[in-house]
Structure 1
Amino acid sequence: MNNNKIGKQLRALRKSKNMSTQELADKVSVSQSYISKFENGRSKPDIEMLENILKALDTNLSSFFASELEEMPDQKRTFIRDTL
């Protein structure tokens, strides 16, 4: 998943929770501009930060990447699901 796709998905998730970028930033103890960089595709969060952001948005990595898994060929999708 590229930076733009992650950012768009994070923004959509945040908006679905009726949360501002500042509210999300406060929940994960970072600046609003830090969140904005992710949402605008200028930066990609490391896995730990992504987990923190998703926790603040009441979701998890599996749910966040579920749509990405559905787009994969069956063999790759099965391998990833079995591995996780």
Structure 2
Amino acid sequence: MITYVKFFSIIDQFLPNFDELFIEINSFIELVFGYLKYVFFGILLIIGILTLLSLRGKYFFERIRYSEEKKLADNPMTKPR
């Protein structure tokens, strides 16, 4: 029992310092994850825009390749459903 009392009396001196340290670490982690949320949103937005532009380019070139006078029956874009 005496060892616990001695241990707590020694630790009691350092607890306020640890408290301030943990508060600083917690505020830093909140700041990092707050900005990380916007970074991931930007990455997803860029991927979505690039995907849409890629699909637009594929369909645009498909329409140019098979113009009205050169439509092929085997073209999957012009087959009736």
More helix by share: 2
Q: TM-score, normalised by structure 2?
A: 0.23
Q: TM-score, normalised by structure 1?
A: 0.23
Q: Which has the larger radius of gyration?
A: 2
1 or 2 for the larger relative contact order (CA 8 Å, sep ≥6)?
Answer: 1
